[in-house]
């Protein structure tokens, strides 16, 4: 039982980061009906910025404060990069085929990652996370501190997001534009502003996710691959559902962790790395049973 609970905590920790990435995908999709494949690049950008900023402000003596301040700065700067990308490469494509815009985001992803890789170097860059892989005993369980930080950070971010969408003028504008862009424009909503805000928010979320993921082994050039796990998460939860993104991310993380813990004992014939592909197996199963995800709507168009 102890092993099971510790595996669940690991899964919820990693799944919390997947949830952030999935939210980034969903926010852009709801605003623009485009799947942005540039999110891995923004995730890597945020992690690299954090790795540079944390040592620069290392004078902050309070444990963890430098890291969290660095993550906040990285989120703001990455949001700025995303806004520039949206204004220069995406805004001119408004009205064009969704497939074309999605392909453009792939090109943006590759271009941004090439530039960012130059700041990483050949090895992994330390992220400045003060606890590293340290563990702590919690309710009799041996858990990594970074997994607790992941869950706590994501809980705060998700609560802030839902407050934003429910209580603020721009949040309501984004919801209106996601429901019907033409009707929103007749009510004075700036759809262009909604597009830009969605890209900025997605960039910030990806930066936070990348920084949290790098708390394990640091930032390397392969970190962006983790963002692809968010795709099964959004398929599971529903491509147009914020709640589904959170549930899907957590579910994928838990499944991946449980498979990694027990697969060698119960199904060794699947090999040593089946946990890596387990999120995609889960995605296929969900697609067969519920093609639009658990919380998705049937009207969703796929790219």
Q: Is residue 63 in a domain?
A: yes
Give which of 4, 14, 2 is closest to 146, Cα–Cα.
Answer: 14
How far apart, in whole angstroms, are the C-alpha atoms of residue 231 and residue 148?
24
Name which of 15-24, 30-39, 44-53, 180-189 the model is least confident about.
Answer: 180-189
pLDDT value of position 271: 78
- Count of positions (residues) in the chain: 303
* Residue 132: pLDDT band with limits 50, 70, 90: confident
Do 241 and 253 contact (CB within 8 A), yes or no? no
Of the listed ranges 90-94, 123-127, 221-225, the least confidently predicted one is 90-94
Other Cβ atoms less than 10 A from the Cβ of 37: the count is 21
Q: Looking at the domain assignment, is residue 18 inside a domain?
A: yes
**Which residues are 136's β-sheet partners?**
143
Query: What token pair was written down for 61?
Result: 């003596």
Instruction: Report the alpha-carbon angle 284-241-199, nearest 5.
Output: 105
Whether 257 is in a domain gets the answer no
* Geometric angle at alpha carbon 192, from 209 and 168, rounded to 5°: 65
**Measured distance CA(234)–CA(2) in Å, rounded:** 30
pLDDT tens per residue, range 58-101? 765 566 788 899 999 999 999 999 999 989 988 888 777 888 88
In a domain, 9, yes or no: yes
Distance CA 77, CA 277 (A): 33
- Range scoring the smallest mean pLDDT among 38-52, 60-74, 155-169, 244-258: 60-74
What range does the domain containing 76 cover?
1-224
- Say what the pTM is: 0.91
Asked if 82 and 75 count as a contact pair (C-beta separation under 8 A), the reply is: no
Kindly state whether residue 214 falls inside one of the protein's structural domains: yes
Asked whether the predicted pLDDT for residue 301 surpasses 60, the reply is no
- d(CA 210, CA 186) in angstroms, rounded, equals 38
Residue 237 lies in a domain: no
d(CA 275, CA 80): 35
pLDDT in tens, 231-287: 888 888 888 888 888 998 999 999 999 998 888 888 778 877 888 888 888 888 888
Domain count, the chain: 1
Q: Is residue 264 domain-resident?
A: no
Angle subtended by helix axes 2-32 and 145-167, to nearest 10: 30
**Does residue 236 fall inside a structural domain?**
no
Angle between helices 274-289 and 242-266 (to 10 degrees): 130
Please list the residues that pair with 257 across neighbouring strands: none
């Amino acid at each position: 039982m102890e092993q099971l609970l510790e595996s669940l905590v690991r899964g919820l920790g990693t799944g919390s980061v997947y949830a952030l990435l999935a939210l980034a995908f969903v926010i852009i999709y709801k605003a623009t009906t485009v799947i942005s494949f540039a999110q891995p690049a923004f995730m890597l950008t945020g992690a690299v910025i954090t790795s540079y900023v944390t040592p620069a402000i290392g004078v902050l003596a309070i444990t963890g404060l430098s890291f969290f301040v660095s993550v906040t700065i990285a989120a703001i700067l990455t949001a700025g990069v995303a806004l520039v990308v949206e204004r220069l490469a995406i805004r001119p494509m408004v009205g064009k085929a969704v497939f074309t815009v999605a392909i453009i985001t792939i090109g943006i992803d590759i271009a941004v990652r090439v530039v960012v890789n130059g700041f990483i170097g050949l090895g992994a860059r330390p992220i400045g996370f003060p606890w590293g892989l340290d563990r702590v005993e919690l309710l009799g369980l041996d858990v990594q501190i970074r997994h607790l930080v992941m869950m706590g950070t994501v809980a705060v971010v998700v609560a802030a997001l839902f407050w934003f969408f429910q209580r603020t003028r721009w949040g309501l504008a984004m919801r209106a534009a996601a429901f019907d862009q033409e009707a929103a424009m007749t009510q004075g909503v700036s759809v262009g502003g909604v597009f830009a805000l969605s890209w900025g928010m997605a960039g910030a979320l990806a930066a936070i996710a990348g920084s949290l993921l790098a708390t394990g082994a640091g930032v390397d050039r392969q970190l962006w691959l983790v963002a692809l796990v968010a795709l099964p998460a959004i398929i599971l939860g529903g491509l147009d559902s914020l709640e589904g993104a959170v549930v899907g991310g957590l579910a994928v993380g838990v499944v991946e962790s449980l498979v990694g813990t027990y697969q060698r004992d119960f199904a060794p014939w699947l090999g040593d790395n089946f946990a890596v592909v387990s999120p995609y197996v889960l995605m296929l199963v969900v697609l067969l049973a519920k093609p639009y995800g658990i919380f998705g709507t049937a009207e969703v168009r796929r790219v």
